[in-house]
Amino acid sequence: MLKTALHFSHQLLSECVQPGDVVIDATMGNGHDTVFLSQLVENDGHVYAFDIQEKALESTRQKLEKQGTQNTSLIKDGHQNALTYLPDNTMIKAAIFNLGYLPRGDKQITTKSKTTLSAIASLLTILVEGGRLVLVLYSGHDEGMSEKKEVLSFAKTLPQDSYSVLTYQFINQQNNPPSVLCIEKKKAK
Ligand code: SAM
């Protein structure tokens, strides 16, 4: 069976992230992606996870405590400020953005095009060759619809000599299912 957008986003990460890598969860939410990344990078790697809601940090902290992992930094700030929290000269292997609002949370607190685009642009500057930015996009609400359009418009402008960009989307499903965008930095020739 074809994978859902969420499963496909994890496949894209697991194909590229290795033990020891530094990675980013740009939208921590309930922590599912943070936990997944912390398992991929193992003890020698590190996950920097961001969210603007304390609730997200609490829920993620609880999940990580059950795992007993110590390879994560949970940061209460927007992903657009991510670079200010990383040690100097840090390069990342991957980042995941699961856009939109916290499931069962306040639907007004949602990711926004301007800050999402700013975060994507800054994280691309520290992405290693062969590294991937993976985004799960939701178009079922107004903000998500315009965010998806703007993110895709930006991604289409990335030069093909430097980046491979793909989308993954079910086109015959009702109710605006999520889609995936992956930006992979090409290896220099
Ligand atoms: N990946 C999460 C999980 O595994 O449960 C789900 C993420 S949820 C769809 C989106 C999250 O993005 C919300 O928790 C929201 O608070 C957060 N968010 C909104 N604006 C943000 C920003 N500028 N920086 C970081 N997180 C943000």
C-beta of residue 185 within 8 angstroms of C-beta of residue 128: yes
Claim: this prediction has a pTM higher than 0.90: yes
Whether the CB-CB separation of 44 and 68 falls below 8 Å is answered with no
Task: Judge residue 129's burial from the number of C-beta atoms within 10 Å of its C-beta, 0-12 exposed, 13-18 middle, 19 or more buried.
Answer: exposed
Cα separation, 152 vs 28, whole angstroms? 22
Q: What integer pLDDT is reported at residue 49 of this predicted model?
A: 98
User: What is the Å distance from ligand 1's center to 163 Cα?
Assistant: 25
What does DSSP assign to residue 153?
H
Fold entry, domain 5-185: Rossmann fold (3.40.50)
Residue 109 beta carbon below 6 angstroms from any ligand 1 atom: yes
**DSSP code of 161?**
T
The fraction of the chain above a pLDDT of 70, given in percent, is: 100
> How confident is the model at residue 61, as a pLDDT?
97
pLDDT at residue 36, as a whole number: 98
Q: How confident is the model at residue 103 (pLDDT cuts 50, 70, 90)?
A: confident
Token digits for 101?
Answer: 């609002």
pLDDT tens per residue across span 2-22? 999 999 999 999 999 999 999
Element (H, E) at 169: none
Centre of ligand 1 to C-alpha 77, Å, is 10
Averaged pLDDT, 42-47:
97
pLDDT higher than threshold 90 for residue 142: no
| Cα-to-centroid distance, 182 and ligand 1 (Å) | 18
CA-nearest of 64, 61, 71 to 21 is 71
- Average pLDDT (130-138) is 97
Give backbone dihedrals phi and psi of 63, rounded to 5 degrees, phi first.
-65, -40
Q: Whose CA is nearest to atom 14 of ligand 1?
A: 29
Domain residue spans in the chain? Answer: 5-185
CB of 50 shorter than 6 A to ligand 1:
yes
**Quick one: average pLDDT of 23-52?**
97
